[in-house]
Structure 1
């Protein structure tokens, strides 16, 4: 992922008002983040319960999305739509995001299931278990990383789409 400054992150939000952007609290470890090991940047707002943020790269530019966490839990164990990790050690929750522009102001939203701690980048970098003789675990790991990048990009692109 691109290395980002606070100003770039604040300018990247496509579905937030100026007030919402000014209220964004950056992750507590922002100054020490290793963007090289992230496929997207995701974090929870320390001040506002159930509000989170994701910044993904779309066409070489950061696209920020304000997320709202559902207060309801899935009835069964959900799988993350982004990293598709089947050995989850953490929760998966439903997040919704209002769309950008007039669509969002009219109440149009989009939703997705994401790891509650936004640990997808770490999940896809683990070598998968040996599935069969001759299985190329490193190739599968690289496919998982690419898949995560594509899922995060597609979500951000969909939120940004105004029609």
Structure 2
């Protein structure tokens, strides 16, 4: 992912009001080379998260809200699909963009609580069998993450 200016970052948000957009905290010291999307939590509102996803030549910013869940088992992140997660996974919902969002239509998914998916897919996966190509599997996981987050971003904006 390439570096994004603060103004472009804020302008990318599709499911927030002008007032909400002005209140979005901008993350600092981002390592852009190791990112397929940018995700962060709001330090003042711990239930709120933000993701900015590159989709083709566009940026799609999405505000997410953590929804309380009671799981009997530990859920798997839908984005990185890591089976050896060192972190928690929570259910996030996002208002759809445009009129659909104003009519309270939402979409939800399970995501790593601190948006660690970028780091999770870059770890070498567990060895499946002798001769298993770890690097090819890692590259495939990175590509799958890009496709998954882009599909999520498109589903938020589809109802515009």
Distance 1:106 1:85, change over 3 A: same
Aligned-pair CA distance for 1:26: 1.6
* Structure 1 contact 26–45 (Cα < 8 Å) conserved: no
How many pairs align? 160
Q: Confirm or deny that 1:151 pairs with 2:148.
A: yes
Query: Over residues 52-78 of structure 1, what are the superposed CA-to-partner deviations in whole Å (9 max), with x where a residue is unaligned?
Result: 100001112210000000122423100
Partner of 1:43: 40
Q: Which runs of 4+ in 1 moved over 3 A?
A: none
TM-score by length of 2: 0.96
Q: Confirm or deny that 1:61 pairs with 2:33.
A: no
- Report which stretch shifted further, 63-72 or 138-147: 63-72
* Structure 1 contact 2–57 (Cα < 8 Å) conserved: no
Provide the secondary structure at the position in 1 that maps to 2:60. Answer: strand
Q: Structure 2 CA distance, aligned partners of 1:139 and 1:87?
A: 18
Output aligned runs, 1:105-144, within 5 Å: 105-144=102-141
Partner of 2:20: 20
TM-score by length of 1: 0.95
Query: Over residues 76-135 of structure 1, what are the superposed CA-to-partner deviations in whole Å (9 max), with x where a residue is unaligned?
Result: 100000000000111000000000011111111000100001100100001112111211
Q: Structure 2 CA distance, aligned partners of 1:58 and 1:2?
A: 12
Q: Structure 2 CA distance, aligned partners of 1:130 and 1:49?
A: 36
